Amino acid sequence: MSSSSSIDNAMHASAKQSTLAGLPAEIHLQILAHLEPLDLAQVAQTCQRLALTSYDESLWSPIVDAAAGQHVAEFTPLSSFRELYASLFPYWFLTSQRIWFGDNEPSGKFLVTRYDPATQSIVAYQVVALARATRTISFWEKNPSVIIYSFDPVTMIDTNQPVLKLDAGNVARGAAAGKSVDRGSTSRYAKDVLMDTFLDSGLHSAIMLCRALPAEAITHNSETWPPHRIPAASRARNASRDGFRSMGHKPEKLSQLSKNNFRLKKWVEYHGRDDRSDSASSGNTIGNAFGIGLPYFLRRLPPNVFESGARMPEDITTFCSLPPESYTPTKEKPWQGIWCGDYSVHGCEFLLVTQPDESEATPLPRGLDYLREWFSGARLSSAFDYDIDPDDDPDEDELAQAATENASNGSDTSNEQTFMSTPNAFPFERSQDHSEVPSGRLEAIKLTGDPNVPRSQYSFIAPDLGHGGFLRIADEATFRGARVVRSAGHVANRGFIDDEYKPSQLIMISHDRLAQFWQGFSHISYYRRVDLDNLIKNGLSRAS
């Protein structure tokens, strides 16, 4: 035998011994542990030995934990963790994102999703906030005509009725041809999956997967959820003439599926006269499901609504998630987060408070143009007249003279007297600001809204938290030591008619508590950070 053939034989034997299949099972497990679930499923198609290894519970248990966002101890009554993962695929993105917001007009909806090990299902519940029944009223030391209401909300997850519930049974039925609401496509990703979220006869709901819009297809005029002012990893259309039935709205394959959007469809359908008594007796559930009161709802029903096969129009809500970096506080952006605000007769509302980088910040709304001089440091009256006769607004020399006279008279309340007698002026100089101060813009965007200013609109904006927007350091007892900066509050008539921005002052009490002085309303309202970790873990977040 020649030396060359011996070398060839040795190399061939070495190659056979070094194949992946020839490695010990322990090495296989270490390698396969680095694969994503779909890649692991592909490995199982290669050969019997790798198929057996790829089914190992030590691989699939951590995959389920990561998808569920919690430790899942049991897979029974299913046969394995692999089967558990497959039974809820491709809906695990719902639990990995956790926080979702809906485009319901005008109120919106705030959901928290979780995996329920007791029912082996993915569920979503609405987050609600309640102001305490006992509220105190006080008056601002700087101006006794300004009212301050206490605000200590309790934020909780309403577990009485899931908004979404997916288990292995309804996912499997939705994936099967002919078993879904929509029969127009053979793709499992385009199917609407029915859910058992309502116990009442006649109420139905389904989840719809979304196709993410390519960035190049989105303009500032596009009707998308979320809108441009809300940060998002991807966006989906939230307007459709055909109820989102066309294939442009639905993913045909996994790569088209948006992991940051989904839709919920709700409708009422009756199949016989016996449903009438059931529906009338369960009006609260119907009203809650559609956000309407039962008496009005029933008055609007056509006469034959309870005849066999009658179906009411569908209500479709598009939901989006938020990038964690947009609401996670950092050292440079300590006010970022989900907040709960006091909106008087409208109750509690949730806001996204974000501090965008200069490179990422969108242009300020055009409604703020008339305030630009004031934002730049000018006195309020030089930018516009606002409920105050400009003749009554003393200039800076007069303010300085008044302060000097008060000081010479030994008064220790000169600043307060000057401020109260001239509500359109600020006797504090920028030189009194700290050397190290926050910077950039702060935006408060409504995630839930009201009939005046609906969800997804700005609630208030502070264009400059730094020296440029600085007004004063609060010396009154209520807000002592708080930084006060120029801001603009967003107001409108009912129906979001004639919306406009009004000058206001943002009182930065702490990283978990803000107050807003709505100058035109002589009212100061509070905002409290929502403890998301506690809310998701325990279902409750109390103001500290």
Asked if residue 203 belongs to a domain, the reply is no
Q: Could you tell me the two tokens for 422? A: 């001239």
pLDDT band at 454 (very low <50, low <70, confident <90, very high): very high
Look at residues 61, 87, 113 and tell me which one is the last residue of a structural domain. Answer: 87
The 3-state secondary structure of 45-87 reads: CCCHHHHHHHCCHHHHHHHHHHHHCCCCCCCCCCCCHHHHHHH
Half-sphere exposure of 357 (CA within 13 A, CB side): 5
Asked if residue 210 belongs to a domain, the reply is no
Q: What pLDDT was estimated at residue 396?
A: 37
pLDDT band at 482 (very low <50, low <70, confident <90, very high): very high
| pLDDT tens, position by position, 179-213 | 444 555 668 898 899 998 876 667 889 999 999 88
Q: Cα(236)–Cα(135) distance, rounded to whole angstroms?
A: 41
| Residue 54 phi, psi dihedral angles, 5° rounding | -70, -15
What stretch of H or E contains 280? helix 275-281
Mean pLDDT, the chain, rounded, equals 80
C-beta of residue 399 within 8 angstroms of C-beta of residue 420:
no
Q: Cα(247)–Cα(479) distance, rounded to whole angstroms?
A: 55
Q: What pLDDT was estimated at residue 435?
A: 73
Give the DSSP per-residue string, 369-415. Answer: GGGHHHHTT--HHHH---SS-GGGS--HHHHHHHHHHHHHTT-S-HH
Q: What pLDDT was estimated at residue 304?
A: 53
Query: CA angle, 113 as apex, 110 and 126 as ends, to 5°?
Result: 35
pLDDT band at 409 (very low <50, low <70, confident <90, very high): very low
Residue with tokens 């989900």: 338
Q: Could you tell me the two tokens for 132? A: 């305490």
Asked if residue 360 belongs to a domain, the reply is yes
Q: Is 177 exposed, middle or buried (0-12, 13-18, 19+ CB in 10 A)?
A: exposed
Residues of the chain above pLDDT 70, percent: 75
| pLDDT tens, position by position, 354-380 | 999 988 888 899 999 999 888 887 776
Among the listed residues 526, 539, 504, 537, the one whose alpha carbon sits nearest the alpha carbon of residue 132: 526
Look at residues 87, 102, 129 and tell me which one is the last residue of a structural domain. Answer: 87
Asked if residue 330 belongs to a domain, the reply is yes
Provide the domain limits for residue 72. 23-87
Asked if residue 387 belongs to a domain, the reply is yes
pLDDT of 394 strictly over 60? no
Q: What pLDDT was estimated at residue 412?
A: 39
pLDDT of 476 strictly over 70? yes
C-beta of residue 351 within 8 angstroms of C-beta of residue 341:
yes
Which CATH number characterizes residue 41's domain? 1.20.1280.50
Mean pLDDT along residues 70-91: 93
pTM of the model: 0.80
Mean pLDDT along residues 344-362: 92
Q: What pLDDT was estimated at residue 380?
A: 63
Look at residues 68, 87, 106 and tell me which one is the last residue of a structural domain. Answer: 87
Q: Could you tell me the two tokens for 410? A: 């030994």
Domain total of the chain:
2
Q: What pLDDT was estimated at residue 491?
A: 96
Q: What pLDDT was estimated at residue 207?
A: 95
Alpha carbon distance, N-terminus to C-terminus of the chain? 86
Q: Could you tell me the two tokens for 148? A: 């301050």
C-beta of residue 152 within 8 angstroms of C-beta of residue 543:
yes
For residue 27, CA distances in Å to 21, 64, 94 come to: 10, 22, 33
pLDDT of 233 strictly over 50? yes
Cα-only R_g, the chain? 30
Among the listed residues 33, 111, 116, the one whose alpha carbon sits nearest the alpha carbon of residue 69: 116
Name which of 61-65, 209-213, 448-452 the model is least confident about: 209-213
Single-letter code of the amino acid located at 201: S
- Alpha helix stretches (DSSP H) within 103-177: 168-175
Q: What pLDDT was estimated at residue 352?
A: 98
Q: What is the DSSP letter of 282?
A: T
Q: What pLDDT was estimated at residue 168?
A: 81
Q: Which has more pLDDT, 176 or 253?
A: 253
Asked if residue 374 belongs to a domain, the reply is yes
Asked if residue 411 belongs to a domain, the reply is yes
Q: Cα(170)–Cα(191) distance, rounded to whole angstroms?
A: 12
Asked if residue 141 belongs to a domain, the reply is no
